[in-house]
Amino acid sequence: MVITICSSLKFWSEIIKLKPELEKLGHTVYMPIQVEGVDYWEEDGTKRIAAKRTQELISEHMSKIEKSEAILVANYTKKEINNYVGANTFLEIGFAHHLGKKIYFLNPIPDQPYIREELESVEPIILNGDLGKIS
């Protein structure tokens, strides 16, 4: 299966480990791109926005989702939020749903205000950390 990993770049060290694990299971894997400045946080986000615009990161990742059969949402704990799903990942989930792609969550749906119901409505397959459940 062709799978695009969707995740906050805060989890980069975790998501780069997923690619070889998925490939061992026979999957083709597309990854997000890590670009200098995108994971940099500042008060108004100007460097982050500029990096995303100049590199066309959102469009680039959406193209990968279009070419995939499924997405894998790599959701880990961020600060006090278990299984965090950020704004870009939420956008990618909606796009994948619109295209009729399978949506896998590595971990359970987060209990984040305003998005839990929407995430449940796309009927993701929860893997509970077991990549072998992807079919």
Is residue 49 domain-resident?
Answer: no
Please say if the pLDDT value at position 8 is more than 80: yes
Domain count, the chain: 1
Looking at residue 82, which CATH number applies to its domain? 3.40.50.450
Give the pLDDT score at 34. Answer: 74
Please say if the pLDDT value at position 44 is more than 60: no
Tell me the pLDDT tens digit for each residue of 66-111.
999 999 999 999 989 999 999 999 999 999 999 999 999 999 999 9
Please say if the pLDDT value at position 38 is more than 80: no
DSSP 43: S
Rounded to whole angstroms, the Cα distance separating 68 from 82 reads 27
- The answer to whether the CB of 6 falls within 8 A of the CB of 61 is yes
Tell me the pLDDT tens digit for each residue of 86-97.
999 999 999 999
Q: Which domain holds residue 125?
A: 2-32+61-133
Give the pLDDT score at 51. Answer: 65
Is residue 96 domain-resident?
Answer: yes
Separation in Å, CA 110 to CA 37, 54, 77: 27, 31, 9
